[in-house]
Chains A and B, each alone.
Chain A
Amino acid sequence: MPEGTDFLYPFIEGDERDAGSLLLDLARSAAGKHELSLALRTAVMASAGETLAAAAEAMAEAFAADGRLFSFGNGGSATDAASLAALFARPPSGKALPACCLADDPAVLTALANDVGFDLVFSRQLIAHATAGDIAVGISTSGGSRNVLGAFAEARRRGLVTVGLAGYDGGEMAMSADVEHCLVVPSDSVHRVQEVQASLAFALWEAVQARLGHDRG
């Protein structure tokens, strides 16, 4: 039986029936977050310009010398790493470049995780695949993923070009001597970080294509 102060809050909990005001709130919230994401993107593109250009230059040189790109990350960053590899390997325009994502194969990932531990799932693959002159691109929203940092250490030992994408304050990735080019998206929203990291990945791809003489469009 209803009692207490529920009558003061007619739209709370199970009694709410009209979705109109919720839909308005949701639309407003979506538009606001979208603006926030674009503003963050604009700010990062401006502040990261030099790092981005240096990373693109090093990557273009590596590709020109037959280097290959290996990308890695966890969770949503694993799918973003896959998107980045696909963009280089199967581009909508320009030159297709050798790239693959080390988070794509469940057999390899589970074998390594089960036998040697999850911290080593990417570095062990680099040991198998990578040689000097290849490129390692690691993505971590916190900047602190152990397996990503470990892969960067292995990549440097093997003479790869290393490019990192991080969020928040950049975490350990921003401090690591193993990451030659580190692009940080300064936000504490994982979603906004990933959205702008994807923009950075796209800008990297465009810049590499331009340096290889394949301006898109």
Chain B
Amino acid sequence: MADAGAAEARGAFGAGLEDDLARAALALARRFAGGATLWCAAPTWPEHARHVAVEFVHPVIMGTRALPAVSVVDPDLVPALRSTVRPGDLLLAVSTADDPTVQSAMRRAGAWGVTTVWVGAGPRPQPGAADHVLWIDGASAAPAHDGSIVRLYHLLWELTHVCFEHPGLLTIEQDGPLCDAVPGCITCSDEGRVAEVLEASADMAEVRTAGGSETVDTLAVGEVRAGDLLLVHAGTAIAVLERTGAGA
């Protein structure tokens, strides 16, 4: 009955969830210190997105600082985020791993220069799907409703504020790479980077990347359209990660 969700949460805490929370909190604090806004999305449970945002904007503990957080409950999540997020911002999503809208937003966050936190329960997202994954394992649908997920983002908020007591650790230079999943090239030392097409012509495309906009050669991947998500390397698109319309 009601104890199933709690038992799973306890197991996940023993299995390293507390360490995941600690690292995510430090990443959040570092980004906030650098001027980030936290964008919160939960397509299936918009109330969770709103709860996270109100925690940060209007803290329950007197004396803790108000931080910029916004819930995005627009059903067209990707276009809503794309037009608003700035490099250095944060995206926190609460959903199951199979939510196609969140999957797409998480993939595209790399091209927007946005650090991602994915909070959820059930089967886990693919490794590397988000910078930080805070997950309650198990098959039960209860965690989204019985307070287990709420507890996770409450703890994330509490730990983030502890980090502000350590200003020496909040400089952005100490932050790790945005994503470990894309290694650098051993020949030219350029990375494979995620890029979103802004405008495409015959063999070239203007793309948005974490570092700004640039022009890349698209001959190797064929025709692309605005909104397509590419992997670019040394000025060349080497793969199409997602076509427009697939979750976008």
Contact = CB atoms under 8 A, between A and B. Distances in A.
Interface stretch (B49-57, B204-212, B227-235): B49-57
Contact of B45 (A34, A78, A83): A83
A15 B50 CA distance: 36
B97 interface: no
Interface in A37-57: 37-38, 41, 45
Contacts of A197: 147
Given A27-B18, A191-B158, A41 B147 contact: yes
Contacts of A87: 145
Contact of A83 (B23, B145, B151): B145
Interface stretch (B77-85, B162-170, B178-186, B213-221): B162-170
Given A14-B167, A38-B6, A198 B146 contact: yes
A82 B50 CA distance: 10
Interface residues of B, number: 46
A16 B26 CA distance: 14
A178 interface: no
B141 to A, nearest CB: 4
Interface size of A as a range? 35 or more
Contact of B1 (A22, A26, A195, A206): A206
A17 B10 contact: no
A197 B151 CA distance: 11
B202 interface: no
Contact of B18 (A15, A22, A28, A198): A28
Given A194-B154, A198-B146, A19 B174 contact: yes
Given A76-B51, A83-B48, A194 B150 contact: yes
B47 A26 contact: no
Contact of A79 (B1, B54, B158): B54
A34 B151 contact: yes
B2 interface: yes
Contacts of B54: 75-76, 79
A26 B18 CA distance: 8
A145 interface: no
A203 interface: yes
A190 B60 CA distance: 7
A152 interface: no
17 contacts: A22-B162, A24-B22, A25-B162, A26-B26, A27-B18, A27-B22, A29-B158, A30-B18, A38-B10, A75-B58, A82-B46, A86-B47, A191-B154, A195-B150, A195-B151, A195-B154, A205-B145
Interface of A: 11, 13-17, 19, 22-31, 33-34, 37-38, 41, 45, 75-76, 78-80, 82-83, 86-87, 92-93, 190-191, 194-199, 201-203, 205-206
